[in-house]
Amino acid sequence: MTSPSFITPPGTTASEGSPAVYLRRSFALDGQPVRATLRITSLGVHEPWLNGTRVGDEVLAPGWTSYAHRLAVSEHDVSDLVHEGANVLGAVVGEGWAAGRLGWESRRNLWTDRLALWLELVVEHTDGTTETIVSDGQFRASTGGTRESSIYDGEVYDARLEPTGWDDAGFDDSGWTAVEPLDWPEGSLVRTGAEPIRRVETLAPVSISVRDDGRVVVDFGQLITGWVRLTVDGDEGTTVTLRHAETLIDREFDVRTLRTARATDRYTLAGGGSQTWEPRFTFHGFRYLELTGYPGEVTPEDVQAVVVHSDMVRTGGFESSHELVNRLHDNVVWGMRGNFVGVPTDCPQRDERLGWTGDLNAFTPTAAFLYDVRGVLGSWLADLAAEQEEAGDVPWIVPNVVATPSPPTALWSDAAVSIPWALYQQYGDVDILTRAYPSMTTFVRRVEALLDETGLWSSGFQYGDWLDPDAPADNAAAGKTDRYLVATAYFAKVAREMAQTSGVLGHDEDATAFAALAERVRRAFNDEYVTANGRVASESATAYALAIVFDLVDDRQRQHAGDRLAAVVARSGYTISTGFAGTPLVTDALSSTGHLDEAYLLLEQTDCPSFLYPVTQGATTVWERWDAIRPDGSLNDSGMTSLNHYALGAVADWLHRVVGGLAPLEPGYRRLLVAPQPGGSLTRARVWNDTVRGRAEVAWQITDGSMRLDVVIPSGATAEVRLPLHPEGAIVEVGDGAHTWTYDLPAADSTVIDMDTPIAVLAADPGLWSRLDAVFQDKLPGVPIVPSGPEAHSISLSLLLGFIPGVPDGLQEALESALTAHRAGSPTPTTAGAAR
């Protein structure tokens, strides 16, 4: 049997603006076959056809992998498409990731300068014999309607140039050219196990407006990744231009967040009646569409947004009584959907869309809860390991497309360890760790050699707390937290995960060595960055969150560190002061040290920067920058402002585990922890996860002083249930099945809170003091009101007003109103600024 080879038209190169390649071959079959299987891949992205019918429902195949190491082969059952007699097998190949420009450096042809196709069609006959049609010299090549096919810049299609019937029998291909083989390592061809990229959903417009100059602007109501399906009827030669954007600024179509990506499709009509077209070899991150050249009136039926991403199975969800928090969680889900297009990317819209390791490392616990990511991330981790083996270090971007070297860097490079460990926690599959173990150990030993004599990671490049909101706009790595503090903290965590992984796999000597390394780095961190009482260097929310969550402080230091963190968070007015390194951890650090009220105040804050500020600005995904769109409606035009960036959505993990109250106590949910911690203005929450053992669900609701908790435990699992707000702090053990508890909550504190209450008592309630502080900021800006110290126990608000000369109008009334609102239990309207 002849083996398939990669075939390509002779003398052509995949240069900028070059057309897609059309390839076809006729073959005849004696008798109706009983089965036929097509295996196919390409250099470029392909769309296969058989006897005039599109094969399968994959798009952008073969997806994006580290092609030189692993090129994905798809397999399709095409038994219903082949028949006795003449058959035609073909494909269209666009430039895709393999040949198109990638990254902000606009590098092209990183894997190939020739578009090529590889396939084999195995046909089984009724007599048990088989015959195989392969990609070889019997194929013919040409071009057609697809004139350009750039991932970043869009697709250009001229329907007049489409060779009608090219994919069916009877077509005259004598004018087409021969093909020639292209050398490519056959050993790179793999079945990756990743879910294909597919059209997953279609959205109709929520509004269509016509501007004075004739441009049509369409709002689909949701920022998505995909393209637009266009229906149009017009004269031959009419060209419709489709531009895509994430946002309108001052009601105007704004493409600055795309940087150099043109994100523009063009369709030229062939005439002859209504035509429906959609791109095949590009994708865009967009909410808004601008149409020019459209003949006639645009109706909602004429433009449909097609949502495209890796077709993973949804496994988890969350909802609560707080609509803004629900929208935040929805934004996290949409952000993940938009960035899992073959590769888990940082953003789907601009001239980047790359597999940054740090973004995914921060987000993996959330991703693995929301979707079954074993396929997509299993394939991606195999790419990471292959590129790490070739380069010696873990690339910051996988697949790696940038010329800049990637020295070992905390949170980015250690994705090699933390992502497999997080997946193991979710799915309990030891094979995940087994496959990743060589990559994991190589990274840890590499960094171990870089530690200084005390055990600190104190040299080399670090991203630090990337995108700390206080970092300069032109240097997102220059946050307020010492970057080597961040690096050492993360490596202490990673070394511990490495030790635990070695133990799970039975590598006892490694387990002992890595445990000693983890303790050495932990002790070095504590000696260098933590005082005896628990104050942490940098005095930032990120520094405290790392020290607490990664268990880098001793028991005697932990509570003081938590108290200091609460003070830091209050000092920021419960707005966000953390970046990539700290944001996934800060609410956990607060809630685990007895500062649940502060964690909820941080969650429910709506001023900029905060988790909910983008929601109040109409965001439908998670932003790259907390202030991507400023309160005045202007764009933060820093040159790095994506409106779809999932990394900072990692707070959803805390929503699942702490607010909802569902977490694995043992890998794969063999044993569950059910421990909701109600707080803030929330009166109910529900969280669910389709674990590898079945559905797990937790729902709690507070009604008229009573708590109801409903729990579902999957088959064969057990759970420790910590009954929320139970008057006796009850903890129970349960088996699988449905369980319900209902009980009265402890009576509310009957202490009278009024203008005569000592300030120290008022300040003991973070939510109440946040209300009062907001009043002081408004009425007495710049005047420090300190709710601590000996005098705070003897001075009330009434006495304080007596010390203020010329009490501003409305101050007393506003304070009384804040006290009344607190007594009524209304949501706390937290405000940015110092809690003085």
pLDDT in tens, 49-90: 999 999 999 999 999 999 999 999 999 999 999 999 999 999
- Say if residue 794's pLDDT is above 70: no
**How many Å from the N-terminal Cα to the C-terminal Cα in the chain?**
81
Q: What is the pLDDT of residue 760?
A: 75
- Say if residue 748's pLDDT is above 80: no
- Say if residue 833's pLDDT is above 50: no
- Report phi then psi at 516, rounded to 5: -65, -40
Rounded average pLDDT over 358-368:
98
Q: Label residue 402 exposed, middle or buried (CB < 10 Å: 0-12, 13-18, 19+).
A: middle
Query: Which contiguous run of DSSP H or E holds residue 146?
Result: strand 146-150
Helix (H, G, I), strand (E, B) or coil at 680: coil
Banded model confidence at residue 834, pLDDT cuts 50, 70, 90: very low
CA distance 577 to 446: 32
Q: What is the pLDDT of residue 810?
A: 84
Rounded average pLDDT over 246-250:
96
Task: Supply 568's token pair.
Answer: 């830091």
Q: What is the pLDDT of residue 791?
A: 66
Q: Do domains 6-192 and 198-310 have the same CATH topology?
A: yes
- Say if residue 764's pLDDT is above 80: no
Question: When comparing pLDDT for 771 and 582, which is higher?
Answer: 582
* 316-660 maps to CATH 3.100.10.20: no
Helix (H, G, I), strand (E, B) or coil at 521: helix
Q: What is the pLDDT of residue 793?
A: 65
* Residue-averaged pLDDT of the chain: 95
Rounded average pLDDT over 487-511:
98
Rounded average pLDDT over 508-525:
98
- Say if residue 832's pLDDT is above 50: no
pLDDT tens-place string over residues 598-609: 999 999 999 999
From the candidate CATH numbers 3.30.450.20, 3.40.50.1980, 3.20.20.70, 2.60.120.260, the one assigned to the domain spanning 198-310: 2.60.120.260
Catalytic residue among 47, 352, 448, 604: 352
How would you write 211-247 as a 3-class SS string?
Answer: CCCCCEEEEEEEEEEEEEEEEECCCCCCEEEEEEECE
Domain spans in the chain, listed from the N-terminal domain onward = 6-192, 198-310, 316-660, 664-744, 759-824
Is 598 in the active site? no
Q: What is the pLDDT of residue 135?
A: 98
pLDDT tens-place string over residues 609-659: 999 999 999 999 999 999 999 999 999 999 999 999 999 999 999 999 999
- Order of strands, edge to edge, in the sheet holding 684-691? 316-320, 684-691, 694-703, 706-713, 737-744
Q: What is the pLDDT of residue 437?
A: 98
Is 319 in the active site? no
- Say if residue 19's pLDDT is above 80: yes
- Say if residue 830's pLDDT is above 70: no
Whether the Cβ atoms of residue 627 and residue 608 lie closer than 8 Å to each other: yes
- The domain 6-192: what is its CATH number? 2.60.120.260
Q: What percent of the chain has pLDDT over 90?
A: 88
pLDDT tens-place string over residues 201-242: 999 999 999 999 999 999 999 999 999 999 999 999 999 999
Q: What is the pLDDT of residue 836?
A: 28
Catalytic residue among 58, 120, 624, 697: 624
Q: What is the pLDDT of residue 540?
A: 97
Rounded average pLDDT over 307-322:
98
CA distance 588 to 366: 14
CA distance 596 to 583: 16
- Say if residue 831's pLDDT is above 50: no
* 664-744 maps to CATH 2.60.420.10: yes
Banded model confidence at residue 763, pLDDT cuts 50, 70, 90: confident
Banded model confidence at residue 827, pLDDT cuts 50, 70, 90: low
Rounded average pLDDT over 375-389:
98
Rounded average pLDDT over 478-497:
98
pLDDT tens-place string over residues 105-156: 999 999 999 999 999 999 999 999 999 999 999 999 999 999 999 999 999 9
Q: What is the pLDDT of residue 492?
A: 98
